[in-house]
Amino acid sequence: MDAADVSDDLLNVLYTEAEIQARIKELAADIEADYAGKDLLIVGILRGAVMVMADMARSFSRHVEMDWMAVSSYGSGTKSSGVVRILKDLDTDISGRHVVIVDEIIDTGLTLSWLTSNLSSRNPASVEIATLLRKPEALQMPVDVKYVGWDIPNEFVVGYGLDYKERYRNLRDIGTLAPHVYS
């Protein structure tokens, strides 16, 4: 889906498909260089990170193993409850492995802070975070993020995996959602 298909729902386009693809290739190159000669596992956080994870994995010029987790801190509301539940755990033993958590956005940092701690308790060689977007103004918990695509304002964004009520995930661009859609 293109931004033109939902133009009435967007205030503006922050990043085009081409800009997103270029930035993901840069992040993948940085990760690949940092983990040269090391056993790397990238862990995507479902569902939002599917697009980022798939495109990042295809950008590597080496073998990379992938696994997925699904976690929830929202329950049925729109604000984080602060209580994180694992809905789908890793299938891979990460003991001694270098792990890079891949997410599409870091908002409050609460879930990723908990997740990093949880994975670190499983004796990996290392745990780092890669995210396409980060909202520094929204952070409630400090999170050490090694790979960041872009820092963005604290606005409601959709597209490229980011959703509102499970819609807009397949939007190729990332844009700011118009308030009339969610108010």
Is position 34 annotated as part of the catalytic site?
Answer: no
Taking a C-beta distance cutoff of 8 angstroms, is the pair 79, 88 a contact? no
Q: Among 111, 90, 107, which Cα is nearest to 99's? A: 90
Task: Give the CA radius of gyration of the chain.
Answer: 16
Length of the chain: 183
114: DSSP letter: H
> Which of 16, 2, 48, 7 minimizes the C-alpha distance to 177?
7
Determine which one of 91, 107, 144, 151 is catalytic: 107
3-state secondary structure of 4: helix
Q: Which two tokens stand for residue 142?
A: 């400090």
Task: Report, as residue numbers or ranges, the catalytic residues.
Answer: 107
